[in-house]
A and B are shown apart, each in its own frame.
Chain A
Amino acid sequence: MGVRPSDRAGDTLLRGLCATAAVAVIAVMVDIAYQVLHGSHQALSKFGLGFLVHTTWRPNFDVFGAGSFLYGTIVSSLMALLIATPLAIAIALYLSLMAPRGVRSIVGSLVEMLAAVPSVVIGFWGILVLSPFVRDHLEPWLHGAFGFIPLFGPPQTTGSSTFTAGLILTIMVIPIIASVSRDLFDTVPQELQDGAAALGATRWEIVRGVILPSTASGVAAAAFLGLGRALGEAIAVTQVIGAGTGIHASLFATGDTLASRVANEFAGATSTLHTAAIFYAAAILLVIGLSTNLFAQWIGRRFDPSRLVAR
């Protein structure tokens, strides 16, 4: 059977188109890295790595340091991660092991819906609803109870704070960590759970003794995905964090993150150095984002559900 010329041409064409698309994807990714680094060139050569530690950000004087934003990024994201991870694991356990079938799919979809709410909407809600609540109730209470810890300093009057930002980020990363973890828990073979149950273990003992240990690296990867999301979130954080500068021990002070600062200042870039400084901040974000992502993939790859079952 001879190959029709039109077929050969068709095959080549399709293959070529697909390959072009694939190359385009890689090119875009590379170009993003290039553009961001290129844009930050001027600030990079002027401030060097000192940019990461200096905390003065004065566009009018062409002095830029992203130290306090880096600090705010790390603090708000860590806070979100610390609160969100246990909650998300608990949700995933509920969905994977406890929920009756009907409830499971409904609650599961609702949790994923939470991830679909746009950050600008969450942030807007954060400004008008969460911030006042945090300012009037949560922060005073925490300050009263744990005020001896510097983290819980006196509340500010605005309600904008690193703490509020951390809470908003918590809301945003919970569904990410929960849905990945749920999928992981679903992969734990029933035989293992039966084996534990047949030894007279309670449900919690099965979770703690079998399910969590066998999925630990995958859950860690999920947490890193969540962290990556929290580190890079710009809009919702900008809306509630209060655009403060300087490093404060108290979570209740205003602050700023790299992403939030980038989002916040761009419209009003005053000089080319200012623009470059913003690109520099984005470059840090890019590096952090890519490395958490790669790291998440790396630990995730070490999790292989088929390893859990004996041959």
Chain B
Amino acid sequence: MTRSSTDGSADLEAVTAVLPRIRIGGERRAPAAAAASPSVAAVPREVVFQARGVGVSYGEKRAIAGVDLDIPRNLVTAIIGPSGCGKSTFLRSLNRMNDTVPGFRLDGQVLYHGHDVYGPGVDRVEVRRRIGMVFQKPNPFPKSIYDNVAWAPRNLGLREGLDARVERALRGAALWDEVKDRLKDSALGLSGGQQQRLCIARAIAIEPDVLLLDEPASALDPIATLAIEELMHTLKQRYTIVIVTHNMQQAARVADRTAFFSLDVSGSDRVGTLVEYDTTEMIFTRPADTRTRDYVTGRFG
């Protein structure tokens, strides 16, 4: 394995390995103490995703290899790294969005609450119902604002109290006040930032477990970006969030944990690997790996 783990994440692994798996029902509550914790090892947390030696290839091209990573519940985990290092690839393999890409192959294991996401008998529609995703480019449906949000609940048969659900989702995405008077208007008339928040509203309307965000603010202006970042803080009360970002300040502002991916040159191939994973504070102040230090200080990538 090419992974150069820090002491911290090695400890986390050790801790989570001995933890009895905690059962949770519908009720969810954010454990309060952890966010401020200086070290991953300090407080054990429930783990939502465990990536075990995850490698992904597209046909002949190997995109990532040997990624081991545990993603804890109700935190914001950021994935940073230079372009092409496989951030999106990794994120999309968490909810099987890569399945339709021709030539996609995954080895290793992605465990979600202990279940292999790629195991036999897994229903990928169910996977995506539990693990929502927001993309880099806002992609609202060419429908009304209301219908964008109501579409997935309707599919799921959640017709009861639909209006309230739509409102809740739009409030949850901090968009309600801006659109409440024009719910029947086309979503394509919204600004880019509003569209992206609509996409978040659309995703949380069915109350998933996890939100995966792939550079959700990269196409937005600074003010819209700020709105999305503030949203992260409230959303993590309820959801486990994994966010890919190019923007290191953004990772520093919103994330509790940060994973740094980089391109490993092995022969003529450049393959994405996980270099370091720790609390955001550690990654940005005392990174263990020189590559991380070079990247976060802007000397590289």
Interface residues of A (CB under 8 A from B): 101, 189, 191-192, 194-202, 205, 209-210, 213-214, 307-311
Contact = CB atoms under 8 A, between A and B. Distances in A.
A194 B97 contact: yes
Given A195-B199, A199-B203, A200-B155, A310 B125 contact: no
B69 to A, nearest CB: 21
Nearest to B155: A205
17 contacts: A191-B139, A192-B139, A192-B142, A197-B97, A198-B128, A198-B134, A199-B129, A199-B132, A200-B130, A201-B125, A201-B152, A209-B155, A307-B142, A310-B137, A310-B140, A310-B188, A310-B195
Interface string B112-129: 000000000000011011
Nearest to A193: B100
A197 B155 contact: no
Given A191-B135, A310-B192, A311-B192, A200 B152 contact: yes
A195 B133 CA distance: 8
Given A307-B188, A310-B192, A310-B195, A195 B139 contact: yes
Contact of A192 (B95, B134, B141): B141
Contacts of A309: 137, 139
5 tightest Cβ-Cβ pairs between the two chains A and B:
A200-B129, A198-B133, A199-B152, A195-B139, A191-B139
Nearest to A97: B100
B139 A310 contact: yes
A14 B128 CA distance: 60
A311 B221 CA distance: 14
Contacts of B142: 192, 213-214, 307-308
Given A307-B142, A310-B195, A199 B202 contact: yes
A201 B155 contact: yes
Q: Is the interface of A mostly helix, strand, loop or mixed?
A: helix
A191 B137 contact: yes
A286 B271 CA distance: 63
B143 interface: yes
A213 B97 contact: no
B141 A209 contact: yes
B195 to A, nearest CB: 5
Interface in B182-237: 188, 192, 195, 199, 202-203, 206, 208
B151 interface: yes
Given A194-B97, A199-B152, 13 more contacts: A189-B139, A191-B137, A192-B139, A194-B133, A196-B141, A197-B100, A198-B133, A198-B203, A200-B128, A200-B155, A213-B143, A307-B188, A310-B195
Contacts of A307: 142, 188
B272 interface: no
B128 A197 contact: yes
Given A194-B97, A200-B128, A200-B129, A310 B141 contact: no
Nearest to A198: B133
A191 B141 CA distance: 10
Nearest to A210: B141
Contact of A209 (B102, B126, B135, B151): B151
A197 B131 CA distance: 11
B277 to A, nearest CB: 25
Given A308-B142, A310-B195, A199 B137 contact: no
A311 B44 CA distance: 44
B259 to A, nearest CB: 21
B141 A200 contact: no
A198 B143 CA distance: 17
A267 B54 CA distance: 76
Given A213-B143, A308-B142, A310-B195, A200 B137 contact: no
A123 B294 CA distance: 75
B81 interface: no
B167 to A, nearest CB: 18
Contact of A195 (B95, B141, B192): B141
A308 B142 CA distance: 6
